[in-house]
């Protein structure tokens, strides 16, 4: 897949930050059934690269599988070679943007201040991840997009079912959701029905917010 449009089209990224990734395939299947097509496995787990390869092999083109918490171009390259279809960073790293652009892989680059956001965009970021979004809320996105309407923003950190619509209405190209969507207890218990329903709720919120304008 490896197209930046896939993220904005679906409007959701599920962040999978777990110590145990043994259930990566069934949890991704549950997210897909609920309507979440972009799944990010964070490199806080050293097995993330192997898991990305495993999920892509099992699910082929059904899911858009990415690598998260990528801190440097070396990790980005490893992720891409494992099959990552997009790369997400928590902070602004220009060398990582350059590496991903060289391979033609979309990026979601972490930034916070207007200066960082514009710097990431000018360096070629596909999307700019506003992190931590919980500190500033939806109004911050709206304020930033005033002078920078061309920048595609993805709020991350603290996004939940109650504020998701507000972020979308503020102009977010997509929202990224972590433990409010995929949490360790639910995965450990193999409650795929719960995971699917959460994904469906977030998907419905995004669709409704976009329709409302």
Catalytic residues: 40, 129
**Own/partner pairs for 48-52, CB < 8 Å, 24+ apart?**
48/21, 48/79, 49/78, 49/79, 49/81, 49/82, 49/84, 50/82, 51/21, 51/24, 52/79, 52/82, 52/83, 52/84
Rounded to 5 degrees, φ, ψ at 176 are: -115, 130
Give, rounded to a whole angstrom, the gap between the first and last alpha carbons of the chain: 28
Rounded to whole angstroms, what are the CA distances from 117 to 12, 27, 125, 161, 197? 20, 32, 9, 25, 33
């Amino acid at each position: 897949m490896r197209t930046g449009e896939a993220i904005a089209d679906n409007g959701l990224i599920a962040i999978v930050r777990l110590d145990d990734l043994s259930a990566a395939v069934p949890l991704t299947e549950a997210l897909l059934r609920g309507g979440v097509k972009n799944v990010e496995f964070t490199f806080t787990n050293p097995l993330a690269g192997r898991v990305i390869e495993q999920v892509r092999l099992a699910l082929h083109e059904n899911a858009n599988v990415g690598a998260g918490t990528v801190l440097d171009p070396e990790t980005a390259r490893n992720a891409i070679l494992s099959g990552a279809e997009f790369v997400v960073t928590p902070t602004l790293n220009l060398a990582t943007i350059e590496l991903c652009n060289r391979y033609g892989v979309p990026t979601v680059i972490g930034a916070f201040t207007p200066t960082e956001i514009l710097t990431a965009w000018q360096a070629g970021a596909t999307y700019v991840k506003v992190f931590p979004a919980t500190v500033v809320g939806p109004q911050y996105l709206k304020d930033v997009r005033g002078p920078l309407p061309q920048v595609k923003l993805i709020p991350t950190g603290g996004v939940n079912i109650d504020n998701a619509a507000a972020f979308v209405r503020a102009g977010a190209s997509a929202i990224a959701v972590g433990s409010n969507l995929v949490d360790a207890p639910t995965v450990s218990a193999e409650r795929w029905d719960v995971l699917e329903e959460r994904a469906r709720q977030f998907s419905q919120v995004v669709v409704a917010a976009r329709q409302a304008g």
